[in-house]
Amino acid sequence: MKRLSTADRTSPVPPLAKGSGDEPPFRLEAFLPYRLSVTANRMSRAFARAYGTRFGLGIPEWRVMAVLGTGGAMTAGGVVERTAMDKVKVSRAVAALEAKGHLARRPHPEDRRSALLELTAAGRRVFEQIVPLARALEAELTAVLGPDDRARLAELLARLDAHLRDVGDATLDAGDPG
Amino acid sequence: MKRLSTADRTSPVPPLAKGSGDEPPFRLEAFLPYRLSVTANRMSRAFARAYGTRFGLGIPEWRVMAVLGTGGAMTAGGVVERTAMDKVKVSRAVAALEAKGHLARRPHPEDRRSALLELTAAGRRVFEQIVPLARALEAELTAVLGPDDRARLAELLARLDAHLRDVGDATLDAGDPG
DNA sequence: GAGATGATGTTTCAGATGAAACGATTGTCA
DNA sequence: TGACAATCGTTTCATCTGAAACATCATCTC
């Protein structure tokens, strides 16, 4: 990390003090969408590293396992609903998990376009190893917030998310680092 | 919604406790990293759409403009520090902004490897158009939260982010080679 | 039924991403 | 000085991403 040597050069350009009146100058680091994005990406990266090195899983794969591990058998569409992921991403994560032997498809009794997805016994063992790790990592990474603030943050995010879903053209999606 | 098993514990860092028996089942939608990622992504998409359709800018480009618009001239490294973006992403955003005539490079007086980046007059005009839009969109998208909750959320995120930056590289017993 | 329309999941394709390699320059030290 | 390491920003390359096209099956309408 080097110090900016622009100290000598910053004076000439007027700091662009928003002409239209007395609004405070725009500050990116106080801009909520920016804060959200940066923090979420940092968090995602930490988890991606943990899942990747210990279990060879990406975040999409982990999410699929998470819903199948607790929700029982369901279709790919059900996974899409519950993970807020794109159907393409779910499709690929399911294929990857199947190739790893963590997941099996069985024909849907009422719809031959679809299939029921289920963790294999091996997949369930992996899932049960991941859950404690995920909880511990969550606890460690959010340790600065006490339990109260953590709950508060979760609640604020849930409220904000619900609102965004209403306002924002219902664009289902969740992404990872980016 | 807050059935955290750690509710009664107040010590800041739960020591990786593998609760053997009676933990509640894992629920993805109550998992903070997931909530953060989903919400941040929804928000980013809304802004990307707004910037893209109105100004032909991507989010990385907007961020570069934001720091140059308020911070005056600085090097690409300075932009990296202030935007928390990868240097590759900054490099490409700068090139794109230069191609659009929103930004100009001028040689750094003390280091010929680098250059000082600055908004052009046209770029500044665009920036001044974006800021009110960005503020209005932020206000609209976060309207469910009152001003207090919004500030609270920003504060929690800032605290969390600072912690992630500290802890970031040394996560839980990560001693895996390769 | 036959045909049209809709739903489900996969594949394609063009763009975005970032780790690593790279050229150019600056800093360090014998 | 000369050699070597470090830093700045760009480029390369392999991977990830999702909109759109696609193949398949289901449902609706006549």
Answer yes or no: do A10 and B158 touch at CB < 8 A: no
Q: Say if CB A138 and CB A66 are below 8 A apart.
A: no
Q: Which residues lie below 8 Å from residue A38, measured CB to CB, with a gap of 6+?
A: B84, B161
Cα–Cα distance measured from residue B5 to residue A139, given in angstroms and rounded to the nearest whole number: 11
What is the amino acid identity at position B74?
M
Answer yes or no: do B158 and A35 touch at CB < 8 A: yes
| DSSP H helices in B84-120 | 87-99
Cα–Cα distance measured from residue B178 to residue B170, given in angstroms and rounded to the nearest whole number: 15
Kind of pairing between the strands at B115-119 and A115-119 = unpaired
Strand C and A142 CB separated by under 7 Å: no
A109 CA → C20 C1’, Å? 49
Mean pLDDT of the B27-55 span = 94
Which chain A residues have a beta carbon less than 8 Å from that of B142?
32, 160, 163
Answer yes or no: do B36 and A37 touch at CB < 8 A: no
Helix, strand, coil abundance in chain B, percent, nearest 5: 60, 5, 35
**Residue A110 class from Cβ within 10 Å (0-12 exposed, 13-18 middle, 19+ buried)?**
exposed
Q: Which of B167, B21, B17 is nearest to A145 (CA)?
A: B167
Q: How confident is the model at residue B105 (pLDDT cuts 50, 70, 90)?
A: very high
pLDDT at residue B20 greater than cutoff 60: no
Mean pLDDT of the B94-102 span = 98
Q: Which of A150, A89, A85, A79 is nearest to A117 (CA)?
A: A79
B112 CA → D4 C1’, Å? 20
Answer yes or no: do B4 and A151 touch at CB < 8 A: yes
User: Which helix (DSSP H) or strand (DSSP E) does residue B116 occupy?
Assistant: strand B115-119
Positions on chain D within 7 A of a protein C-beta: 7-12, 16-20, 23-27
A37 CA → C29 C1’, Å? 44
- Nearest residue in B to A128, CA atom: B26
Q: Which residue has the higher pLDDT, B18 or A107?
A: A107
Q: Say if CB B102 and CB B62 are below 8 A apart.
A: no
**pLDDT score for A11:** 34
Give the per-residue SS3 of B36-83: HHHHHHHHHHHHHHHHHHHHCCCHHHHHHHHHHHHHCCECHHHHHHHH
- Write out pLDDT tens, residues A64-109: 999 999 999 999 999 999 999 999 999 999 999 999 999 999 999 9
Chain B closest-CA separation from residue A85 CA (Å): 9
Q: Say if CB B71 and CB B60 are below 8 A apart.
A: no
Domains in chain B with CATH codes: 36-164 (1.10.10.10)
Strand C and B63 CB separated by under 7 Å: no
**pLDDT score for A22:** 67
Q: Which of B41, B131, B135 has its CB closest to that of A173?
A: B41
What is residue B145's three-state secondary structure?
coil
- Write out pLDDT tens, residues B127-177: 999 999 999 999 999 999 999 999 999 999 999 999 998 876 544 433 222
Range 103-122, chain A: CB under 7 Å to any strand C atom? 111, 113-115
Cα–Cα distance measured from residue B127 to residue B46, given in angstroms and rounded to the nearest whole number: 18
- Nearest residue in B to A27, CA atom: B70
pLDDT at residue B178 greater than cutoff 50: no
Q: What are the DSSP calls for chain A, one per residue?
A: -PPP-GGGTSSSS-----TTSSPPPP-GGG-HHHHHHHHHHHHHHHHHHHHHHHH---HHHHHHHHHHHHH-SB-HHHHHHHHT--HHHHHHHHHHHHHTTSEEEEE-TT-TT-EEEEE-HHHHHHHHHHHHHHHHHHHHHTTTS-HHHHHHHHHHHHHHHHHHHHHTTT--------
**pLDDT score for A21:** 58
Strand C and A80 CB separated by under 7 Å: yes
